[in-house]
Amino acid sequence: MRWHVNCLNIYDIDKNKILFVICVVEWFMDYELNNMNLVIFTDIDGTFMGNDNFEHAENIELANKLVDAKHFVIFNSSKTYYEIDNMFKNEASFFPFICETGGGIYSPKNIFVDCETTRENYDVIYESTRLSSYYEKIKKILMSSYANDLIFFDDLDIKDQIKVSGLEGKNLTLASRRDFTILFIWKSSDTKFRELEEVLEIHNLSIIRGGRFCHICSKFNKGIAMKIFMDKLMSISRDRIFNTVAIGDSSNDLEMLKVADYPCVVKSDNNKRLAKHFSMENIITSDNEAPTGWQECIDKVFNAVRS
Domain residue extents for the chain: 37-128+221-306, 131-218
**50, pLDDT greater than 80:** yes
Assign domain 37-128+221-306 to its CATH superfamily. Answer: HAD superfamily/HAD-like (3.40.50.1000)
**9, pLDDT greater than 80:** no
**One-letter amino acid for residue 208 of the chain:** I
CB 252 within 8 A of CB 209: yes
For 229-276, how does the pLDDT look when each residue is reduced to its tens digit (9 = 90+)? Answer: 999 999 998 889 999 999 999 999 999 999 999 999 999 988 887 777
Dihedrals φ, ψ of 252, to 5°? -75, -5
**Banded pLDDT at 30 (limits 50, 70, 90):** confident
Strand partners, 166: none
| CB-based burial label for 41 (10 Å; 0-12, 13-18, 19+) | buried
CB 73 within 8 A of CB 98: no
CB 183 within 8 A of CB 175: no
CB-based contacts of 214: which residues, under 8 Å, 6+ apart? Answer: 150, 183, 184, 185, 186, 207, 208
For 76-126, how does the pLDDT look when each residue is reduced to its tens digit (9 = 90+)? Answer: 999 999 999 999 999 999 999 999 999 999 999 989 988 999 999 999 999
Q: How far is CA 133 from the centre of its chain?
A: 27
Instruction: Give CATH for domain 131-218.
Output: 3.30.980.20
- According to the model, what pLDDT value does residue 202 have? 96
When comparing pLDDT for 261 and 11, which is higher?
Answer: 261
